[in-house]
Amino acid sequence: MSSQNGNLLSVKDLRTYFETEDGTVRAVDGISFDLERGETLGIVGESGSGKSVTNLSVMRLIPEPPGRIVSGEIIFHGQDILTLSPEEMRQIRGKQIGMIFQDPMTSLNPFMRISKQLMEITQLHLGYDKDQAYRHAIKMLDTVGIPDAEARVDSYPHEFSGGMRQRVMIAMALSCEPELLIADEPTTALDVTIQAQILELIKNLKRDTGTSVILITHDLGVVAGMSDHIIVMYAGKVFEQSPTRELFAQPGNPYTKGLLKSVPDPAHEHGRELYQIPGLPPDVAHLPPNQCPFAERCYRVEDICRREFPPFVKLNDEHFSLCHFAGEVYAQSRVESDAKTAGANRRVAGTEASTGGGTQR
């Protein structure tokens, strides 16, 4: 957690608010996290939890007005990018931080050839001339797995499928070999088989280039295989923060447990109705400050949750949870996980017995 030299990005107490007719929306309300070089960080949460706003803040792409970064620090490469001039910020965008957006169908300019959209970024940041930029564009398309890149580079976006367009977006984001890649729900708008391909692509490119990645998603299944650390966000706050493996094995927050329970598990719950967290995400414009924002939806709720804002509890060196009963939930998860493992073992043992025990798990 401490900000070492290994940190590429360090966000401290970031607050981004939006002024609306309905009042001040505290979309991001005191977020802190660190990202080490070469690491992948997953940010998970329901719609409206502040995931995207956090990362648009890092890019300083919050539309102002109505949005405003009220306070906090975003230390990238040792400097606070909130203090940079717009001109200096443009040097970072696209060059040192690349970004992929959710909807590849609308994120590319429909009036401009792919080649031109890819070329303008290297011409701008790397000072390439037209020829170099054009060759680089072809190379990037090739890298992201677009077949026959040379022939297709001059296409318009509408001539590409959704998955191909997302590949183009990735090619664009990685054109200048940025140190940080922010992927904002990169697979949400794609169908499932393409999702897997795109995730695999990001994973491979990350491995080859050593880029750090922030992966925003509402799908725990997506981050599970990708990220080193996970942040769970709710109502503009970090609810839980943990290494990926531990978060899945032993969550320390009722909200995270709800999210994990909502992931379909066809192997063990066949025929059973899929779990969902009761209620809806809160209206962050009208959130009472002195209660837990999740209280109304929580299975573990007690009086104190409605009276006091919960503490950010340190469960171990790398694992934190925002809950009055964090320790208790954490311990409970341990018991459940042990029971589950034991149960799974029993089932496996049973299968082996009935089939003569040929298969290994």
Partner 1 sequence: MFKFVLRRLIITLPMVVIVVSLTWGLIRLAPGNFYSGEKKIPAAIEKNIREKYGLDKPWYVQYGRMMGSVLRGDFGNSLRYQGQSVNQILLMTLPVSATLGLFSYLIALLVGILAGTLAALKQNSRLDYASMALAMLGLSIPNFVLGPLLVLVLSLSLYWLPPARWGGFPSWNLVLPVLTLSGVYMAYIARLTRSGMLEVLRADYIRTARAKGLSERAVVFRHALRGGLLPVVSFTGPALAFLISGTVVVERIFALPGLGNYFINANLNRDEPLIIGIVAFISIAILLFNLLVDVAYAYIDPRIRY
Does residue 18 belong to the site contacting partner 1 (CB under 8 A)?
A: no
Q: Which of 34, 39, 46, 120 binds partner 1 (CB under 8 A)?
A: 120
Binding flag, residue 202, partner 1 (CB under 8 A): no
Residue 206 makes contact with partner 1 by CB under 8 A: no
Verify binding: residue 165, partner 1, rule CB under 8 A. no
**Alpha helices (H) along 234-358:** 244-249, 254-261, 303-307, 326-355
Query: Toward partner 1, which CB reaches closer, 152 or 314?
Result: 152
Is 229 an interacting residue with respect to partner 1 (CB under 8 A)? no
Our CB check for partner 1 shows the closer of 202 and 329 to be 202
For partner 1, the binding residue among 110, 147, 266, 358 (CB under 8 A) is 110
CA dist., res. 308 & res. 326, Å (int): 14
14: amino acid identity, one letter = L
Candidates 89-97, 131-139, 203-211, 286-294; binding stretch for partner 1 (CB under 8 A): 89-97
Residue 69 makes contact with partner 1 by CB under 8 A: no
Work out whether 127 is an interface residue with partner 1 (CB under 8 A). Answer: no
Contact 310, 304 (CB under 8 A): no
Q: Which three-class secondary structure state does DSSP give residue 111?
A: coil
Q: What are phi and psi of 334, to 5 degrees?
A: -60, -50
Which DSSP string do the residues of 157-203 spell out, in sequence order?
GGGS-HHHHHHHHHHHHHTT--SEEEEESTTTTS-HHHHHHHHHHHH
59 interacts with partner 1 by CB under 8 A: yes
Which residue, 156 or 275, has its beta carbon nearer to partner 1? 156
- Closest contact distance (angstroms) between CB of 182 and partner 1 is 9
3-state secondary structure 16-48: EEEEECCEEEEEEEEEEEEEECCCEEEEECCCC
- Tell me which stretch binds partner 1 (CB under 8 A): 117-125, 270-278, 286-294, 308-316: 117-125
Find the part of the chain contacting partner 1 (CB under 8 A) among 97-105, 253-261, 269-277, 302-310: 97-105
- Minimum CB separation from partner 1 for residue 121, in Å? 5
Does 91 participate in binding partner 1 (rule CB under 8 A)? yes
What distance lies between CA 233 and its chain's CA centroid?
A: 10
Q: Given candidates 15, 24, 37, 61, which one binds partner 1 under the rule CB under 8 A?
A: 61
Contact between 174 and partner 1 per CB under 8 A:
no
Task: Report how far residue 320's alpha carbon sits from residue 163's, in angstroms, rounded to the nearest whole number.
Answer: 36
Bridge partners, residue 98, by sequence:
181
Position among 172, 202, 230, 235 found at the interface with partner 1 (CB under 8 A):
172
User: What is the rounded distance in angstroms from the CA atom of residue 31 to the CA atom of residue 53?
Assistant: 11
Q: Which is nearer to partner 1, 87 or 317 (CB)?
A: 87
The first and second tokens of residue 252, run together, are: 């320390």
Q: CA distances (Å), 50 to each of 18, 122, 231, 234, 237, in order?
A: 11, 31, 12, 7, 8
Measured from the CB of residue 208, what is the shortest distance to partner 1 in angstroms?
22
- Reduced to 3 states (helix: H, G, I; strand: E, B; else coil), residue 333 is helix
Find the part of the chain contacting partner 1 (CB under 8 A) among 42-50, 118-126, 211-219, 278-286.
118-126
Q: What number of H helices and E strands is found in the chain? A: 13, 12
Q: Which residues bind partner 1 (CB under 8 A)?
A: 59, 61, 90-95, 98-99, 101, 103, 106-112, 120-121, 124-125, 156, 158, 169, 172
